[in-house]
Every structure is written in structure tokens, then in C-alpha cells.
């Protein structure tokens, strides 16, 4: 029970979410969440599921079901996972295993000429880092527009509206790291 509470607290703190906000999102009192985090109370499965949803986690992750089952840390190029391909000509690949407990997600965004990330860059609590591996892109962050080239990087709050568009004459590639992961 103590490890469950510490996992919840660690995840909440990594996300920068106040205890009161998580409690509100989970539909419980701040006092109840504090007691769970400090191993003074054990939540029902329904409450645990609500807390997990509030912090972008799963019940399995919070109870530690996969802590010892982590795969090898390497994902070869041929083993990366295609997450989505949109109608504009953009492809999104996961560069990590789908293991529980990840606090960040690393992705490769490949954009054909004129392609856009579309709705992949959802607003959420967290932060993200993007590095232009190849090509020329335009990043839109809220009302700001940034023309970026190979070697440029961007670090931003994920609660802002974001989109990346290939504005060059050839294919573009972006390394995109987000916390917490949502794919």
C-alpha cells in the first residue's frame, strides 16, 4: 500500500499537478488523496481508477504490475511503432516500448512536403521538446509562428495549442519528446 501511494505522489509531482487539482479531477477530497499518498488509507478500485485517469496513468501502472517486466531499453529502427499516419502526409512513430511507468514519450514525426502534425499535439498538462532532425518546418505555438531548420529545437508548455508543418521543399523529420506520454 505504501508503494501505491508513493507512485501516485511521484507521478503527480512529475506532472507538476497540485494535490488539490488531482483530487478534484478524481472526484475525491484533498484529504482523502493525501491519506492515499501517505499510505494511511487504501482506495477502492473505482477511486484508484479515477486517480489514475486524473494523472494520465493506469491502475496497473500505479500498483506496479509491470515494474519487473520492462523490456530491453533499445528500440531498433525497424522495430519502431507506427502510431498514426494522417491525410496530409505525416507519419508518427513511437521510439520507445509501450511499457507502463513511462513518464515521457519519444516520437519521430516524418512530414512530407506540406504535411502537418494535425491534431497529434493535443493540449495536456506537461511539457515537450522538439528537435528538427531534417528539413524546414514552421511551428505554431498559440499565436506565435516559428520558422525552424535542421538543428533547431523548441521547448514549450503542452497546454498551449501547437502544430508543426513542413514548410520546406523536401521531407522533414522532427524528434518530439512529451511528458507525460499520451500515445
Domain ranges for the chain: 2-63, 77-179
**Grid coordinates standing for 164?**
508543426
Confidence grade of residue 100 (pLDDT, cut at 50, 70, 90)? low
Among 46-50, 91-95, 179-183, name the one with the lowest average pLDDT.
179-183
* Highest mean pLDDT pick, 64-78, 90-104, 115-129, 148-162: 148-162
Which CATH number is correct for 77-179, 2.60.40.60, 1.20.1630.10, 2.60.120.10, 2.170.150.20? Answer: 2.60.120.10
**Is the distance from CB of 48 to CB of 62 less than 8 angstroms?**
yes
> What is the rounded average pLDDT of the residues 10-21?
90
- C-beta contacts of 123-126 below 8 A and 24+ residues apart: 123/158, 123/159, 123/160, 123/161, 124/56, 124/158, 124/159, 124/180, 124/182, 125/15, 125/16, 125/17, 125/56, 125/158, 125/159, 125/180, 126/15, 126/158, 126/178, 126/179, 126/180
Over 80: is that where the pLDDT of 69 sits? no
What pLDDT, on the 0 to 100 scale, is given for residue 175?
A: 97
What is the reported pLDDT for 61? 84
Determine if the peptide bond prior to 180 is cis (ω within 30°).
Answer: yes
Taking the C-alpha atoms of residue 17 and residue 12, their distance in angstroms, rounded to an integer, is 5
Residues 76/108, Cβ–Cβ less than 8 Å: no
Per-residue pLDDT tens over the stretch 105-153 = 999 999 999 999 998 888 888 899 999 999 999 999 999 999 999 999 9
User: Which fold, 2-63?
Assistant: 434 Repressor (Amino-terminal Domain) (1.10.260)
Collect contacts of 78-81 with beta carbons under 8 A, ≥24 apart. 80/108
Amino acid at each position: 500500500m505504501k508503494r501505491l501511494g508513493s507512485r501516485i505522489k511521484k507521478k503527480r509531482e512529475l506532472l507538476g499537478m497540485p494535490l488539490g487539482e488531482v483530487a478534484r479531477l478524481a472526484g475525491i477530497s484533498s484529504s482523502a488523496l493525501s491519506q492515499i499518498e501517505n499510505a494511511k488509507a487504501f482506495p477502492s478500485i473505482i477511486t484508484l481508477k479515477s486517480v489514475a485517469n486524473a494523472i494520465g496513468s493506469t491502475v496497473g501502472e500505479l500498483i506496479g504490475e509491470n515494474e519487473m517486466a520492462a523490456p530491453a531499453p533499445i528500440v531498433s529502427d525497424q522495430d519502431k511503432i507506427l502510431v498514426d499516419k494522417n491525410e496530409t502526409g505525416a507519419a508518427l512513430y513511437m521510439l520507445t516500448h509501450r511499457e507502463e511507468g513511462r513518464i515521457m514519450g519519444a516520437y519521430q514525426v516524418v512530414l512530407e512536403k506540406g504535411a502537418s502534425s494535425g491534431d497529434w499535439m493535443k493540449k495536456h498538462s506537461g511539457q515537450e521538446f522538439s528537435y528538427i532532425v531534417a528539413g524546414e518546418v514552421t511551428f505554431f505555438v498559440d499565436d506565435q509562428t516559428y520558422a525552424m531548420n535542421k538543428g533547431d529545437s523548441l521547448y514549450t508548455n503542452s497546454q498551449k495549442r501547437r502544430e508543426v508543418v513542413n514548410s520546406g521543399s523536401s521531407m522533414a523529420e522532427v524528434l518530439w519528446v512529451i511528458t507525460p506520454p499520451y500515445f
